[in-house]
Amino acid sequence: MAPSLKTKVASIPLETCVYNASGPRTGSAQALSRISASKAGAVLAKSATLASQTGNPLPRTWHHDAEESHASMNSEGLPNLGIEYYIKTETIDEAISDTGKPYFVSISGKNTDDNMKMLDMIYEKIKTGEARIAGVELNLACPNIIGKPIIAYDFEQMDSVLKSICAMPMFTEAKIPLGVKMPPYFDGPHYDRAAAVLNKYSDVVKYVASINTIGNCLAIDTVAEMPAIRSKGGFAGLSGRAVKYTALANVKKMRELLVDDIDVVGVGGVYTGEDAFEMILCGASAVQVGTCHWNEGPKCFDRICKELEDLMAKKGYSSIEDFKGKLKEWSKEGVAKSREVKAAKKKLAKDATATKASSGPSAQDQMLTALLILVIAVLLADKFDVISI
């Protein structure tokens, strides 16, 4: 029997612990339906604003040219179809069909009033019978809105925003779970202050998603000698494999500092089942996938889940609870074990190469050789005019 990837986020059951981050490929019901049809454990809609908007000028995205891109950037500026679209029954019908997967709405208002208006609209929809909105993710971490700072870097402002929002009937009476999308932190006191604010509202805030993109990075087009992205002077949010190590640190610190009532969802640089495993080992209850989904499409969820299952089976884990938050301290014994495994892998690769070399050319190599000889023969015959018709 395959290991179980089941988990809970904000007490909401998920069949698998891997699902999409709010970002590219999440802006329409059609795109969300493709996520729902995959092994993703939940469906998270694009971060919505009060009204629809087109976002920043193009080009606003960049990918490293390497075959396996280690870095991507975007300065999208939250293009989306507006909150009304993402809470419409018709949108949710198409987005999750009959899969029964949890459907989360993400909001990123231009100010607190906008966020509160959107929450009122969501609550009204829920009160009219749309019970499939499982929870709300409040984005306090977007670095790409021109003229707007990252809210969660201003701890007094973050406290004020959460104080207003967490007092709304949607949360105090209906107990709808609230998640908060967080920016990356890089210094110990910042982790402490952010966690202290979140812990104050643990009766409403039920998970944090760490991290959003690393803001205000810059990619250069050396041929044209200009920024690769048009808006904000080229400054944009960095994502992809390059941010995984910052994300792991944030997941670990948040899990250490937050009260148990607040789950941590790891996001940032997840491309493989091993990446997901590392996030969970650091304390994540689930993992969101953003840039890999952007580049690969929804099939990434099937692949990552399978790779995670295989890794768990190899290690003898039957569920993610077996290793969640159980990152071990550094030890000489651990180093020795790791070196032993690496040496064994290296030997297997060397033996495979030697076996291939000793077995002579493969059937494919022989076929290519024969084809090459035939082509040369035809060319020579044509040159010396020995082919007759």
pLDDT at 10: 98
- 217 catalytically annotated: no
Percentage of the chain surpassing pLDDT 90? Answer: 82
pLDDT at 387: 37
Q: One of 142, 292, 300, 305 is an active-site residue; which one?
A: 142
182 neighbors 251 (Cβ within 8 angstroms): no
pLDDT in tens, 142-186: 887 767 789 999 999 999 999 999 999 999 999 999 999 999 999
The DSSP bridge partners found for residue 218 are: 235
pLDDT in tens, 12-59: 999 999 999 999 999 999 999 999 999 999 999 999 999 999 999 999
When mean pLDDT is compared across 14-28, 188-202, 328-342, 358-372, the lowest value belongs to 358-372
Report whether pLDDT(222) > 90.
yes
pLDDT at 389: 32
pLDDT in tens, 99-148: 999 999 999 999 999 999 999 999 999 999 888 999 999 999 988 776 77
pLDDT in tens, 85-107: 999 999 999 999 999 999 999 99
The Cα-based distances of 278 to 295, 301, 329 in angstroms read: 21, 16, 14
Residue 347 — pLDDT band, cuts 50, 70, 90? confident
pTM confidence score: 0.89
pLDDT at 76: 92
